[in-house]
């Protein structure tokens, strides 16, 4: 479909006009047309209210047909993504759950994996990382069994899983997955690979490869602009490029792009996109950024974007008087912990300690944030299973972190951890 490649293609308006004028259009084709029009508006950042009316118009027959009919499946996918961009996440989740109820009695692996992929992205936006990982892994297992390579549905699952791992503190695993699917180098200039560039950029950023992340995100933005996709509610590439500019010491470039995204997000009017853009703009504005950061927190407070709220709280806290920081950092910590975002949780814990006059857990030792977090919990006497449950990760991930901790500290096991981490334990002396 032309819409998949460009929202600004000159053939689109007359084609849509002809379709709308057809008196004998089937109900199935009418649903697809409605879904495509709403999807186009979302990508262009126009009329977010269309998604709400669209959701009310969805009939049970759409979900039933989406399992076996290619047209209804296309309608279903575009509706779910439209709702996701418009922050109508619970409605989109309900559609996915209804689809799973239908697939339970049928042998439809591609449809099943596609719904898992969509739900993984929804859970990622909700900050429910353990569930996002489970859905992403399930989808990838199905696609790998079917040997579908780099098809559109595969990239949908793969990008959700890689970004989820990055949020959970394991971006290297995400980069390995990109590499194993031959997605670590140049990718074709078609719509489905825009999301590859975007999510790969996020993974590289978490790995500290700011130059590589910047190249991926700028290329993603270039392609999206060419296609007429400007809404940061779908792909917030400008704010992420701004963060890379900040990491590379280019604050003027960062502020320019961040302010551009704020303007686009205000036009769209949904909290996730606006709150995220305000946060980055506030950080880029430096001393003048307090008001933007306060607005970001206010915008996100009642939204489902918990990870974005935690980040905004952390950034805003730095502008508050020392006595007012602790409850803000505590809230950021609790949000990140509930999501299973180990790096963000650890950063919040460090800021919380600093605000209370204690030294951060990080000093001259070479442990990463997530390794320090797992090591501290192990010293408290928690088992690998208990740590995995509390952090919403697998036991294997906990074991890998502890193995790295032992090697870096030059010890052989848990019994030596308490002595190897003096001054780092909660309540311990600095």
- The enclosing domain of 424 has a CATH number of 1.10.10.10
Q: Kindly state whether residue 381 falls inside one of the protein's structural domains.
A: yes
Q: Residue 408: inside a domain, yes or no? A: yes
End-to-end CA distance of the chain: 62
Q: Is residue 405 in a domain?
A: yes
Residue 384 lies in a domain: yes
Q: In sequence order, which ranges of 228-284 are alpha helices (DSSP H)?
A: 237-247, 251-268, 271-284
Residue 23: the pLDDT is: 67
In a domain, 411, yes or no: yes
Is position 382 within any domain? Answer: yes
Q: Kindly state whether residue 210 falls inside one of the protein's structural domains.
A: no
Using alpha carbons, list the distances in angstroms from residue 5 to 72, 102, 226, 276, 314: 20, 31, 9, 26, 38
Provide the number of structural domains found in the chain.
1
Over residues 264-304, the pLDDT tens digits come to: 999 999 999 999 999 999 999 998 999 999 999 999 999 99
| pTM confidence score | 0.81
Residue range 293-333, pLDDT digits in tens: 999 999 999 999 999 999 999 999 999 998 899 999 999 99
Q: What radius of gyration, in Å, describes the C-alpha atoms of the chain?
A: 23
In 45-170, alpha helices (H) = 50-57, 60-66, 70-85, 89-103, 109-126, 129-146, 152-168
Q: How far apart, in Å, are the Cα atoms of 414 and each of 100, 393, 409, 424?
A: 43, 20, 11, 15
pLDDT tens digits, one per residue of 132-158 = 999 999 999 999 888 866 566 789 999
Residues 74-119: pLDDT tens digits?
A: 888 888 999 999 999 998 999 999 899 888 878 888 889 999 999 9
Residue 56 has pLDDT above 70, yes or no: no
Instruction: For residue 378, give its domain range.
Output: 365-430
């Amino acid at each position: 479909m032309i819409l998949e490649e460009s929202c600004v293609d000159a053939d689109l308006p007359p084609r849509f006009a002809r379709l709308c004028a057809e008196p004998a259009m089937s109900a199935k084709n009418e649903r697809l047309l409605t879904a495509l029009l709403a999807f186009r508006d979302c990508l262009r950042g126009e009329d977010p209210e269309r998604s709400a009316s669209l959701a009310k118009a969805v009939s049970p027959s759409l979900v039933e047909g989406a399992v076996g009919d290619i047209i209804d499946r296309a309608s279903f996918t575009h509706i779910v993504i439209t709702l996701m961009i418009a922050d109508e996440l619970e409605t989109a989740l309900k559609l996915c759950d209804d689809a799973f109820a239908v697939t339970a009695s049928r042998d439809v692996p591609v449809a099943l994996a596609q719904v898992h992929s969509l739900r993984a992205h929804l859970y990622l936006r909700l900050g429910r990382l353990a569930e996002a990982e489970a859905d992403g892994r399930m989808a990838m297992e199905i696609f790998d069994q079917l040997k579908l390579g780099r098809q559109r549905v595969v990239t949908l699952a793969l990008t959700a899983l890689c970004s989820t791992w990055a949020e959970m503190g394991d971006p290297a695993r995400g980069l390995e997955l990109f590499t194993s699917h031959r997605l670590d180098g140049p990718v074709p200039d078609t719509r489905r690979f825009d999301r590859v560039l975007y999510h790969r950029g996020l993974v590289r950023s978490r790995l500290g490869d700011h130059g590589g992340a910047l190249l991926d995100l700028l290329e993603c933005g270039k392609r999206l602009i060419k296609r007429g996709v400007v809404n940061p509610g779908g792909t917030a590439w400008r704010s992420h490029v701004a963060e890379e500019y900040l990491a590379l010491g280019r604050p003027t470039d960062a502020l320019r792009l961040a302010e551009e995204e704020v303007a686009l997000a205000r036009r769209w009017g949904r909290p996730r996109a606006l709150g995220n853009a305000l946060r980055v703009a506030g950080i880029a504005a430096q001393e003048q950024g307090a008001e933007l950061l306060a607005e970001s927190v206010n915008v996100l407070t009642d939204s489902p974007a918990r990870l974005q709220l935690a980040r905004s709280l952390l950034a805003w806290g730095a502008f508050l008087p020392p006595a007012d920081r602790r409850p803000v950092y505590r809230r950021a910590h609790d949000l990140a912990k509930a999501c299973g975002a180990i790096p963000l949780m650890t950063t919040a814990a460090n800021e919380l300690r600093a605000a209370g006059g204690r030294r951060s857990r990080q000093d001259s030792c070479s442990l990463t944030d997530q390794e320090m977090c797992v090591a501290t919990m192990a010293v408290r006497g928690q088992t690998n299973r208990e740590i995995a449950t509390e952090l919403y990760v697998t036991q294997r991930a906990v074991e890998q972190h502890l193995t790295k901790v032992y090697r870096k500290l030059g010890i052989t096991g848990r019994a030596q951890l308490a002595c190897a981490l003096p001054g780092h334990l909660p309540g311990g002396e600095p």
